[in-house]
Amino acid sequence: MAGRRDRAKTEHYFDYSLLFIILFLVCFGLVMIYSASSYNANVEMKNEMYFLIHQGGAALAGIVAMFVVSMIPYHFWERFAVLGYFTSIVLIALVLTPLGVEVNGARRWLNLGISVQPAEIAKLAMILFLASMICKIGRNVRSLKGFVLILGAAGVVCVMVWKITDNMSSAIIIFGIAFLMLFVASPDYKRFIAIGAIGVAGAALVVFVVSQAASTEGMNFRFVRVLAWLNPEKYSSGTGFQTLQGLYAIGSGGIFGKGLGRSIQKLGYLPEEQNDMIFAVICEELGLFGAIAVILIFLLMIWRFMVIANNAPDLFGALLVVGVMGHIAIQVILNIAVVTNTIPNTGISLPFISYGGTSVLFLLIEMGLVMSVARRIQLKDV
Amino acid sequence: MERSKTFHRKKIVTIFLVCLLIFCGLAVRVVYLMVFQSEHYTQMAQELHQRERKIKAKRGRILDCNGNVLADNRTVCTISVIHNQIREPERVIEVLCRELGLSEETVRKRVEKVSSIEKIKSNVDKAIGDAIRAYKLEGVKVDEDYKRYYPYQELASKVLGFTGADNQGILALESYYEEYLQGEPGIILEMTDARGVELTEAGEDRVEPVSGDDLVLSMDMNIQQYATQLAVQVMKAKEAQSVSILVMRPDSGEILAMVDVPEYNLNDPFTLSDAMLQAWEEKAAEEESAAAEEKEADEGQETAARAMTEEEKQDLLNRMWRNACINDTYEPGSAFKIITASAALEEGVVTESDTFSCPGFIVVDDRKIRCAKVQGHGSETFVEGTMNSCNPVFITVGQRLGVDRYYDYFEQFGLKQKTGIDLPGEAGTIMHKKEDMGPVELATVSFGQSFQITPIQLATTVSSLINGGKRVTPHFGIKTVSEAGEVTKAFDWSAQKEILSEDTSRRLRAILFQVVENGGGKNGKVEGYSVGGKTATSETLPRGTGKYISSFLGFAPAEDPKVLALCIIRVPKGIYYGGQIAAPVVRQLFENILPYLEEKEEQKQEGTGQ
């Protein structure tokens, strides 16, 4: 099974491009967090380095963890797949206990000495669990039963994340990861296209119904967000406030931006400036060029994932990389779409750049996994 | 160990391609927002980030015809606080209270109010502003701006008017010529963070204010000053309620002086003048005595000297600011015989040599109307009747014209319209309706009673009748001049239509010359000059209170009038005949200003000759 000790015989691959991209994003993220948060951190905490130090610590731990994980053959983790799956379920449930921590009205964190977000752990656990499970059921994945089984296993966690931690964004991401992994594992297209079509049609229907509503009174906040998405200036003082402030930041950046550190919107106007809305600050300070550069870097990263997944020595490794790829891609797309008001507002952070210790730590562990898979690629003529 | 199959690779590539597509879509969206919507959002963001502070524009000055500055600007300061920039609120409150002399409560309320910028006090002396600036208090702003300043205090107060807290013209010329005088305020735009704290490194945008244009008046400060002196003298001597003097050029309508004493201090317009306070006390005393009488019946009601209510004070202020020359109407009395004479001469119903007989009264319908001379003037020509100011003569002349023709002339002379003077609030004529005019009304109107016009209306109409018959528009404004000295606007006051023939105008001047030379207006005679004019004395309404308005209207030179003056003395004590108390005022005025005007004319001609 695992542990092929034939390093001496074959030359192994190390994806330096990916490593460079990761390190660049982490460092760029730290610079942007410092830029976005220092003014308010100074006003509120009298310490302009507050967010930088916290994020920097997590990033450092993450990079160490990434290298450690990349050294360990990835099949080592297969035995923990089921354990990880159930652990993440337990952790999510623990949010309901007194260990749960509420921040800004949302109960999403656990206080385990350091505060962690179970949803972030669940994403990693899900990738590992599904990769292992798909490999185990083998060809059964092609049957409807296997299809339902895999989506069901992911669905349970999604519903828990959504309902218990009231975090729909993370639920969507976990579901998306499962969907993409299953898509790769199964030779079928029709099923997936059908699910995608149903999803798009459903979303369009919701938007249509909500936009026809006469009054927002008593309406679920998610529906109000849809209205604010359609017309942020009308809801500028309430639901549309964050979106509109983000648009101000993006629009006022122009082509070349105001220059690093020169954002005005971060001075208390833009909420979540070092968090979900950090892309808006990037736009304002670095302009269109900075924004496009960030998008390109992420695209490059996903391209590297594709290359690694396609050259992975086995399906398990490939699926691991596909899961990570799905995770990053979905999160980047949703975050930029939200910030540019392309879709209704929902809280999603920008991987590696947004402030969030658990997020960056687990993202880097995922990167370690991908690098571990990459190391197993044998540079031989195929 | 299961190996990846080809379809796995294909699907992975599919995922990448879908991602690529979506990323491109997002990039397009970002380009749209940052290139095509950039201007829109930049502007909206800027409105959010910038705080506006207005810089007052320097208001245009008001100058007399010789270039003397009648209304000027003085540098003052506006003190404001920026809530979020205040570090030591208690010290700020303490300093501002002490320096500005405001109550702690007022200052505290404004300092503690959460607003982007809060004005504490404007029009603060520059010295105090500098003192406050010297404390270097965080969050306290001292902005310099301008305050109106009137160097001659009371001079022409009712003509110039004054400005409000924001330097906006409130009354009279300041209000009428607001659009030229006000200029355009400038703006300081400074960037702030969301809490309103100024971002010093961002700098500030300034839109410089544009100063208002100077207004040049036809008024001559020397004449205005002298006329004011005369008015004050006669008001004191006759213990009169008020005295108005109007001096204008009959040929152009330019007003050289407009006095209405008591005047008030333009630099302190919201404080009641002594005259007004005195009037108030007298009224209060009357009320008190009336109340005392009532007290007999209703014992126990204490009505000792009560305090003035806010409303009463405002009422008194309005009275103090009123310009009786244009805002109030009165019965012109015998001076109006000039109008009756003009109409009759023009219509040809009377000639200078027509003879009349005055028995001291005349019966109209069933009413007996008395002449001022009870025993009658006996037989007299029309000229003599005018010199004697004989009521029966003018009633007869009026009857010859009849209601229709009289009324037509009244309208033709422009008496039913406002004069169109460049001062706000001109009162209209109060006249009988044509269909209500019976013989009695016609008779009384003929010698200037039973209707009311403003003094400016009388002066303007007579000016127009004696200047050859062109209706003029009385005015002060000549031109506006920019700060750089360029004429930005020259006002056009050219004469309106012909209201009287040249010939009748000439004959009228000759008759009015006789009035002053040999008749009732001889107190208006000036050595070395020919003066025309007409006296008037009218009893105030209601009749029988022994209160009179005496007036004299004079012009010189009689054959080619260059200046016309009207003096009205309201409620004098003692002798109240216009010929005896008002005519000497005009005489003194003419004695002084006729040589002065001649000299000026010569200088002007020399100036243009060179």
Mean pLDDT, residues B319-332: 87
Distance, CA of A309 to CA of A304 (rounded, Å): 8
State yes or no: pLDDT of A6 exceeds 70.
no
Q: What is the pLDDT of residues B361-378, one digit of tens each?
A: 888 888 888 887 778 888
State yes or no: pLDDT of A8 exceeds 50.
no
Distance, CA of B283 to CA of A170 (rounded, Å): 84
Which of B9, B16, B49 minimises the CB distance to A264?
A: B49
Written as one letter, the residue type at B45 is A
Q: Could you tell me if B2 lies within 8 Å of chain A, comparing CB atoms? A: yes
Query: Scanning every residue of chain B, which has its alpha carbon at the shortest distance from the alpha carbon of A328?
Result: B19
Mean pLDDT, residues B21-47: 90
Q: Shortest Cα distance from B10 to chain A (angstroms)?
A: 8
Q: What is the pLDDT of residues B27-39, one digit of tens each?
A: 999 999 999 988 8
Q: Shortest Cα distance from A75 to chain B (angstroms)?
A: 11
Residue B340 banded pLDDT, cuts 50, 70, 90: confident
ipTM: 0.93
State yes or no: pLDDT of A2 exceeds 50.
no
A35-49, A61-75, B182-196, B433-447: least confident range:
B182-196
**In this complex, do A184 and B1 lie within 8 Å of one another by their Cβ atoms?**
no
Q: Could you tell me if B49 lies within 8 Å of chain A, comparing CB atoms? A: yes
Residue A382 banded pLDDT, cuts 50, 70, 90: very low
Q: Which of B136, B137, B122 is nearest to B77 (CA)?
A: B122
Write down the mean pLDDT value for chain A. 88
CB within 8 Å of chain A, chain B residues 196-215: 199, 202
In DSSP terms, B217 is beta-bridged to B477
Q: Which of A370, A364, A367 is nearest to A318 (CA)?
A: A370
A39 Cα distance to chain centroid: 27
Looking at residue B2, what DSSP letter applies? P
Distance, CA of A58 to CA of A56 (rounded, Å): 5
pLDDT at B608: 65
Q: Could you tell me if B42 lies within 8 Å of chain A, comparing CB atoms? A: yes
The helix (H) or strand (E) run that includes residue B547 is none
The helix (H) or strand (E) run that includes residue B39 is helix B38-49
Contacts with A302 (C-beta within 8 Å, 6 or more apart), sequence order: A325, A328, A329, B16, B19
pLDDT at B97: 86
pTM for this model (two decimals): 0.61
Mean pLDDT, residues B522-547: 83
Mean pLDDT, residues A361-376: 93
Residue B26 banded pLDDT, cuts 50, 70, 90: very high
**In this complex, do B193 and A254 lie within 8 Å of one another by their Cβ atoms?**
no
Portion of chain B with pLDDT greater than 70, in percent? 95
**In this complex, do A288 and B35 lie within 8 Å of one another by their Cβ atoms?**
yes
Q: Shortest Cα distance from A296 to chain B (angstroms)?
A: 8
**In this complex, do B26 and A295 lie within 8 Å of one another by their Cβ atoms?**
yes
State yes or no: pLDDT of B315 exceeds 70.
yes
Mean pLDDT, residues A352-371: 93
* Of A9 and A81, more confident: A81
Distance, CA of B93 to CA of B139 (rounded, Å): 12
Distance, CA of A27 to CA of A63 (rounded, Å): 11
In DSSP terms, B142 is beta-bridged to B79
Location of structure tokens 């039963």: A145
Contacts of A298 in chain B (CB under 8 A): 23
A83-97, A150-164, B53-67: least confident range:
B53-67
CB within 8 Å of chain B, chain A residues 39-68: 39, 43
**In this complex, do B15 and A303 lie within 8 Å of one another by their Cβ atoms?**
no
Portion of chain A with pLDDT greater than 90, in percent? 51
**In this complex, do A329 and B19 lie within 8 Å of one another by their Cβ atoms?**
yes
The helix (H) or strand (E) run that includes residue B567 is strand B563-570
Query: Scanning every residue of chain B, which has its alpha carbon at the shortest distance from the alpha carbon of A285?
Result: B34
**In this complex, do B12 and A184 lie within 8 Å of one another by their Cβ atoms?**
yes
Contacts with A234 (C-beta within 8 Å, 6 or more apart), sequence order: A227, A228, A240
pLDDT at B294: 61
State yes or no: pLDDT of A366 exceeds 60.
yes
- Judge residue B498's burial from the number of C-beta atoms within 10 Å of its C-beta, 0-12 exposed, 13-18 middle, 19 or more buried: middle
Q: What is the pLDDT of residues A220-241, one digit of tens each?
A: 777 888 888 888 878 777 778 8
Q: What is the pLDDT of residues A270-303, one digit of tens each?
A: 888 888 899 999 999 999 999 999 999 999 999 9
Written as one letter, the residue type at B572 is P
Contacts of A73 in chain B (CB under 8 A): none
Q: Could you tell me if B290 lies within 8 Å of chain A, comparing CB atoms? A: no
**In this complex, do B34 and A283 lie within 8 Å of one another by their Cβ atoms?**
yes
Q: Shortest Cα distance from A253 to chain B (angstroms)?
A: 7
pLDDT at B60: 86
pLDDT at A309: 93
Q: Shortest Cα distance from B28 to chain A (angstroms)?
A: 10
State yes or no: pLDDT of B123 exceeds 60.
yes
* Of A276 and B300, more confident: A276
Distance, CA of A242 to CA of A189 (rounded, Å): 38
Q: Shortest Cα distance from A313 to chain B (angstroms)?
A: 7
* Of B464 and A215, more confident: B464
Mean pLDDT, residues A169-190: 91
* Of B508 and B290, more confident: B508
ω into A98 cis (within 30 of 0): no
pLDDT at B78: 83
Looking at residue A381, what DSSP letter applies? -
Residue B200 banded pLDDT, cuts 50, 70, 90: low
Mean pLDDT, residues A35-59: 89
Q: Could you tell me if A300 lies within 8 Å of chain B, comparing CB atoms? A: no
Q: Which of B535, B460, B430, B2 is nearest to B251 (CA)?
A: B460
Contacts of B33 in chain A (CB under 8 A): 247, 250-251, 283, 340
Q: Could you tell me if B21 lies within 8 Å of chain A, comparing CB atoms? A: no
pLDDT at B324: 87
Query: Scanning every residue of chain A, which has its alpha carbon at the shortest distance from the alpha carbon of B22?
Result: A333
Strands laid side by side in the B50-55 sheet: B50-55, B186-191, B204-207
Q: Could you tell me if B127 lies within 8 Å of chain A, comparing CB atoms? A: no
Residue A7 banded pLDDT, cuts 50, 70, 90: very low
Mean pLDDT, residues B430-450: 84
Mean pLDDT, residues B70-81: 84
**In this complex, do B38 and A253 lie within 8 Å of one another by their Cβ atoms?**
yes
Q: Give catalytic residues of B, as residue numbers.
A: 334
CB pairs under 8 A between A and B: 139
Q: Could you tell me if B45 lies within 8 Å of chain A, comparing CB atoms? A: yes
Residue A381 banded pLDDT, cuts 50, 70, 90: very low
Distance, CA of B58 to CA of B223 (rounded, Å): 28
State yes or no: pLDDT of B300 exceeds 50.
no
Across B71-99, b (16+ Cβ under 10 Å) vs e yields bebeebbbbbbbbbbbeeeeebbebbbeb
pLDDT at B90: 84
Across A213-241, b (16+ Cβ under 10 Å) vs e yields eeebeeeeeebbbbbbbeebeebeeebbb
Which of A138, A183, A253 minimises the CB distance to B2?
A: A138
Contacts of B46 in chain A (CB under 8 A): 252
In DSSP terms, A365 is beta-bridged to none
